[in-house]
Structure 1
Amino acid sequence: MKGPRKMDTPPAAARAGIGTKGRWRGLRLAAACFVVLVGCGMAFLGGFAAFATHVARLSTPAEQTDADAIIVLTGGEKRLDAALDLLQSGKGQRLLISGAHPDARLVDIQRATGGDAGLFSCCVDIDYAALDTIGNAEESAKWVTSHAYGSVIVVTNNYHMPRSLLELKRMVGDTLLLPYPVVNTKLDGGEWMTNKAALRVLFTEYAKYLAAVARVALPRLGSEPVEVLEASAGG
């Protein structure tokens, strides 16, 4: 009586062929992953270069177009002084100081800036609720809506302007936003490439800007494309 038939063992050459194919598949997958990573890295760095160049070329307008109101986002040097100068010169009817410290009373800000007490009394509002740029946009939108303003001058630093406009547009709808970038450090000659402090600020802001773009774009997939890097004022 014959015993159970043994299964044929693949020849050594066949086993070697199977192993070689597996290794080639693994190498191809690793190569594809490497190409994708390199491509993403190059896209990120290319985007950063475009962002930094765009920000560096923003300049404070020599003559600002009039608007219904003015919003200044606190946190950067010279922002508040620039906004008060615009209000004083009649470029807007009213000013919102968004993101002020909870302990900073309106009268304290007026004294610290040397602003006109009468102007502060009639035409300046202060927002304490905003803790970041998203909060600035939310509180500013409430203020704009409550006053039915159709156009607003936005005052913030040049590096902060693209993200600020993106967040504000998400909140204020059809209200016209007029950028008024405040420039503390001249970078339009490419100085940001060798200025470590400026490079660090720009890189951090770029990462935050990408997050803002994603936050705006994801709910709108399948709709019209999101416009980015729209801030252009005076240069």
Structure 2
Amino acid sequence: MSALFSPEPASTPPPARPRRRLLPWAAGVAVLALALFLAGFCLFVAAVDRQSIQAVEPADGIVVLTGAPERIADATDLLIAQRGKRLLITGVHPDTTLSEISRTVPATREALECCVELGRSALNTRGNAIETAAWAHALGFRSLIVVTSAWHMPRALVELRRAMPDIVLVPYPVVAKSVRDPNWRARLASARLLLGEYVKFLAAYVGVRPWPSLTSQTEGTRKAGAS
């Protein structure tokens, strides 16, 4: 009887699940990634705070990216001061006219008509860069003064340099009054703005394109027209 029936094998404990072993590693990687993200954000904010408006040498042209009203006012001041031959205002709403812009800046319409061009195709910073590159290359410019908000300047330079690496870019950061507001609500809004801009800057730096660019819009328009 003992030869016919072998003893049952002793039960062995189930192997440890790989997922449980990976959890500490995954948690460590997540903590490290968060720490690097926050450290980078602090450096980003410090770099933005260090920016200041300084006297700039003349360049071939001036480009201003629409947004805060102070940007266009400062850009037209540079044009009047003959820091550039021509000024491109990129990202202008299709319904906005030069007459409307002249009412918001110190320069008169007559002073702007000779040397200001309105770019209406760009819907984002990537589109601004493409539009600016086409404008600068068409005019044979080799240097540009870039006017935009201080918090927007890092991402703008990334996109502009990628679109026209052959052109020298001179940053002219504009510091809005709201950024320096001591009110805690304004400071909280500024912190949220900077955090969102930092994420967009990282995406632009690594080449991620989560927003439609001017190129895709133009291709879509051409296809619609052809059909």
Query: TM-score surpassing 0.5?
Result: yes
Number of the residue aligned with 2:168: 176
The runs of 5 or more residues in structure 1 that have no matched partner are 217-235
Q: How does 1:80-99 map to 2 (within 5 A)?
A: 80-99=72-91
Report the count of equivalent residues.
Answer: 206
Amino acid at match of 1:35: G
In the TM superposition, structure 1's runs of 4+ consecutive aligned residues that sit over 6 Å from their partners are 5-8
CA, structure 1 residues 106+27, in 2 after alignment: closer, same or farther (shift >3 Å)?
same
CA, structure 1 residues 83+7, in 2 after alignment: closer, same or farther (shift >3 Å)?
farther
Q: How does 1:114-129 map to 2 (within 5 A)?
A: 114-129=106-121
Number of the residue aligned with 1:32: 25
Q: CA deviation at 1:114?
A: 4.3
Number of the residue aligned with 1:73: 65
SS at match of 1:112: coil
Number of the residue aligned with 1:228: none
CA offset digits 1:160-199 (Å, max 9, x no partner): 00000000001012100000000014869xx99x921110
Number of the residue aligned with 1:112: 104
Q: Which has the higher contact order (CA 8 A, sep 6+)?
A: 1
Number of the residue aligned with 2:212: none
SS at match of 2:152: helix
SS at match of 2:121: coil
Q: CA deviation at 1:117?
A: 2.7
CA offset digits 1:21-57 (Å, max 9, x no partner): 515x543311111101111111111111111111111
Counterpart contact for 1:56–1:187, Cα < 8 Å: no
SS at match of 1:70: strand
Structure-1 separation of matches of 2:106 and 2:179: 30
Amino acid at match of 1:44: F
Number of the residue aligned with 2:56: 64
SS at match of 2:148: strand
CA offset digits 1:94-132 (Å, max 9, x no partner): 000000111111222123324223321210000011111
The runs of 5 or more residues in structure 2 that have no matched partner are 209-227
CA root-mean-square deviation: 2.6
Amino acid at match of 2:30: L
Q: CA deviation at 1:135?
A: 0.7
Q: CA deviation at 1:144?
A: 0.6
Q: How does 1:215-234 map to 2 (within 5 A)?
A: 215=207
Number of the residue aligned with 2:16: 22
TM-score by length of 1: 0.80
Q: CA deviation at 1:7?
A: 7.8
CA, structure 1 residues 84+6, in 2 after alignment: closer, same or farther (shift >3 Å)?
farther
Structure-1 separation of matches of 2:199 and 2:142: 31
Number of the residue aligned with 1:139: 131
Structure-2 separation of matches of 1:111 and 1:195: 30
TM-score by length of 2: 0.82
Number of the residue aligned with 2:46: 53
Number of the residue aligned with 2:204: 212
CA offset digits 1:135-156 (Å, max 9, x no partner): 1001001001101101000000
Amino acid at match of 1:58: Q
Q: CA deviation at 1:9?
A: 4.3
Q: CA deviation at 1:8?
A: 6.5
Structure-2 separation of matches of 1:106 and 1:46: 43
